[in-house]
Structure 1
Amino acid sequence: MASTFPVLFMLVVTAALMTVAALFTPKGPQQVTIRTSLMLALAACYLMWMVTYMAQLHPLVSPVHSVKH
């Protein structure tokens, strides 16, 4: 049985990267735009990875085995 550990581990890594992006974005007139873009991109990448990973663990269509006589 597969573990949910990779999903939770990657969530923690993504949250840490979002925190780093929020704290270390250089000051300037576009700071909020850059920060928001980085955090949105990280969230989208994590969600896409998680959906793909979970779809491989629990497929909607099971494999069909053909029986040859």
Structure 2
Amino acid sequence: MTFFHVVLVGMIIAAIGAVSWFVLPKGKNQTLLRSSILLTLTSCYLMWAITYLAQLHPLISPRRSDLRAEY
């Protein structure tokens, strides 16, 4: 299910980016606004995906420190 969630959120972000590409009004700053929105969506998605996957598959497993040594 982890891959499904990452792909699903990625498709939602891509849809939001595509909608914002066509909805923005024409003008002097259209390219700047498009670039800003797409870069923001991409950065936020990557940060979310890395954090989400890092929590699901940690590199270091947690250890209990309150157990005796023989256990």
With normalisation by structure 2, the TM-score equals 0.87
Alignment match, 2:19: 20
Question: Aligned pairs, how many?
Answer: 68
Alignment match, 2:56: 57
Instruction: Measure how far apart 1:4 and its partner are.
Output: 1.3
Indicate the SS of the match to 1:4: helix
Runs of at least 4 residues of structure 1 off by over 4 A? Answer: none
Q: 2-side partners of 1:16 and 1:7: how far apart?
A: 14
5+ unaligned residues in a row in structure 1: which ranges? none
Q: Taking every aligned residue pair, what percent have the same amino acid on both sides? A: 43
CA RMSD of aligned residues (A): 1.4
Rg bigger for which structure? Answer: 2
Indicate the SS of the match to 2:62: coil
